[in-house]
């Protein structure tokens, strides 16, 4: 996993002060990384339009133009006259090399956005809005320097944002790149070294970007085993039995030795999934909430008081009594609407979905501060997994998963690992990665995934 920071200005100041680097050295490394990428990816003599603002993000663009101009047909468009000292210096350098400055936007082969970077803290004026809209309309390969212009430090889009194919983020990953809103604008994200190794540039962090290698699959290495060796998951069925069936199939396919659906009457379900009216004596984990609907709180309370690791999902987040059972053996998997209900029930906040989506990291931190032993997974375009003061970002999710039943698969995967003895946080991280990475392997139309398709892909990880 990789470290993520809310801001990197303090990290840049630190390496300048402690390691005697200069602002100019940092800038040369930033522009050189983009230069090397373009040089490797594109044939020479392609047209490149670099759109520069008045600050240091614009200076990065001017430095990039200086590096590119002998190999490509480079044009510079100045949005506003340079104001920062580095922008003025890089402007002089570009002028001295007779790089062409243009006064009109055009559809180049490659467009590089160097307007604002992470410095945006206000609404855009009409001219900038129109400029970014024009850039977005071009059928060019689009590169963003540090962060697409129009996205602020919180990952919010104030008016409009540049839609890039790739974003080069300088020195460290930033939380603003991983808001749900930003996901449609950042494209691929590439980390740029600024002159010192990342382990020196970056300090300790509380937020991390998950990688594929962080997934620990439930491989069976011991030959001397039986079905009980790998746990017995009990899934509590509610009014909508289909959700429990989906979760049970996912759990069984992800290594649980035994899976039982606990329901009031016998159902016509897959033959390898057991049914019972009671919790099994050898139960090792419980999943509850999927398709729960209306269930008597007395019955629900009896289940919640059982001392097993549990996954809470879906309808249970509207039940007030859930507040009494938020402890270290619990994994919560709400989507945004369910999470705002949970925030209200726990007296943390009474907010709208829009407020939550604009401040996902903030409210996840607030929840985990109050319930540090609980593992929380907040669903979204970028999944946030949190426990205590640590947040883990799973950015592998795609629109393929935006189908009914996908969340039930996820709950089954997490619960399966809990039943097999994983710690709650590790179970949640590995199951979430399996869930999203499996979806990326689905090659048919991105609207056509169903839960069984997803489960089949999980089997092939």
Provide the percentage of residues in the chain whose pLDDT is more than 90.
83
Binding site residue list for K(+): 57, 113, 149
**What's the mean per-residue pLDDT of the chain?**
93
Cβ within 8 Å of residue 45, ≥6 positions away: 71, 72, 73
Report how far residue 176's alpha carbon sits from residue 43's, in angstroms, rounded to the nearest whole number: 32
The 3-state DSSP class for residue 143 equals strand
Name the DSSP letter for residue 443.
-
The whole-number average pLDDT for the span 164-178 is 96
Residues in the chain: 461
Binding site residue list: 56-60, 113, 117-123, 146, 149, 243, 291, 335, 407-408
Q: Given a cut of 80, is residue 227 above it in pLDDT?
A: no
Domains and CATH numbers, the chain: 2-205 (3.40.50.10260), 213-459 (3.40.1190.20)
Between strands 207-209 and 2-5, the pairing is antiparallel
Q: Given a cut of 80, is residue 222 above it in pLDDT?
A: no
The whole-number average pLDDT for the span 379-385 is 97
Cβ within 8 Å of residue 85, ≥6 positions away: none
Q: For residue range 119-156, what is the model confidence (pLDDT) as tens digits?
A: 677 788 899 999 999 999 999 999 999 999 999 988 99
Helix axes 451-459 and 406-419, enclosed angle (nearest 10): 40
The whole-number average pLDDT for the span 185-208 is 93
Report how far residue 429's alpha carbon sits from residue 415's, in angstroms, rounded to the nearest whole number: 12
Cβ within 8 Å of residue 313, ≥6 positions away: 287, 288, 289, 290, 332, 333, 334, 407, 408, 411
The whole-number average pLDDT for the span 49-70 is 95
Q: What is the pLDDT of residue 187?
A: 97
Binding site residue list for AMP: 407
Helix axes 451-459 and 241-253, enclosed angle (nearest 10): 10
Binding site residue list for (6S)-NADPHX: 56-60, 117-123, 146, 243, 291, 335, 408
Buried b (16+ CB within 10 A) or exposed e, 94-125: beeeebeeeeebeebbbbbbbbbbbbbeeebe
Q: For residue range 275-309, what is the model confidence (pLDDT) as tens digits?
A: 998 999 999 999 999 888 776 566 788 889 999 99
Q: For residue range 427-446, what is the model confidence (pLDDT) as tens digits?
A: 999 999 999 999 999 888 88
Do residues 196 and 171 make contact, with C-beta atoms less than 8 angstroms apart?
no
């Amino acid at each position: 996993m990789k470290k993520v920071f809310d801001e990197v200005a303090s990290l840049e100041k630190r390496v300048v002060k402690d390691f005697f680097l200069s602002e100019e050295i940092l800038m040369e490394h930033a522009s050189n990384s983009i230069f090397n990428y373009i040089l490797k990816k594109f044939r020479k003599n392609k047209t490149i339009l670099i759109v520069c603002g008045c600050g240091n993000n614009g200076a990065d663009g001017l430095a990039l133009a200086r590096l590119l101009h002998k190999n490509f047909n480079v044009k510079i468009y100045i949005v506003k006259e340079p104001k920062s000292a580095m922008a003025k210096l890089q402007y002089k350098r570009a002028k001295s090399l007779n790089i062409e400055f243009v006064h009109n936007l055009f559809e180049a082969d490659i467009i590089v956005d160097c307007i604002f970077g992470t410095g945006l803290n206000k609404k855009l004026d009409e001219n900038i809005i129109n400029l970014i809209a024009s850039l977005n309309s071009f059928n060019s390969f689009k590169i963003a320097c540090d962060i697409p212009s129009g996205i602020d430090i919180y990952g919010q889009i104030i008016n409009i944002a540049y839609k890039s194919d790739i974003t080069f983020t300088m020195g460290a990953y930033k939380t603003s790149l991983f808001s749900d809103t930003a996901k449609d604008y950042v494209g691929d994200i590439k980390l740029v070294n600024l002159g010192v190794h990342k382990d020196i540039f970056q300090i300790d962090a509380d937020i991390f970007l998950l990688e594929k290698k962080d997934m620990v699959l439930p491989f069976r290495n011991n030959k001397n085993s039986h079905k009980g060796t790998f746990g017995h998951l009990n899934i509590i069925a509610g009014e909508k039995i289909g959700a429990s069936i989906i979760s049970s199939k996912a759990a069984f396919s992800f290594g649980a030795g035994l899976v039982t659906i606990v329901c009031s009457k016998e159902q016509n379900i897959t033959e390898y999934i057991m049914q019972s009216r009671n919790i099994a004596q050898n139960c090792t984990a419980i999943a509850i909430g999927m398709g729960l609907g209306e269930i008597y709180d007395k019955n629900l309370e009896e289940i919640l008081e059982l001392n097993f690791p549990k996954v809470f999902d879906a309808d249970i987040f509207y039940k007030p009594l859930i507040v009494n059972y938020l402890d270290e053996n619990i994994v919560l998997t709400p989507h945004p609407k369910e999470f705002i209900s949970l925030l209200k029930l726990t007296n943390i906040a009474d907010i709208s979905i829009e407020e939550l989506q604009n401040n996902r990291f903030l409210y996840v931190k607030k929840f985990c501060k109050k319930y540090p032993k609980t593992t929380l997974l907040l669903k979204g375009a970028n999944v946030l997994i949190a426990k205590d003061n640590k947040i883990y970002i799973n950015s592998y999710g795609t629109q393929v998963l935006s189908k009914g039943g996908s969340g039930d698969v996820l709950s089954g995967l997490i619960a399966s690992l809990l039943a097999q003895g994983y710690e709650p946080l590790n179970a949640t991280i590995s199951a979430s990665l399996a869930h999203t990475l499996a979806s990326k392997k689905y090659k048919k139309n991105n609207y056509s995934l169903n839960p069984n398709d997803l489960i089949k892909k999980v089997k092939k990880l």
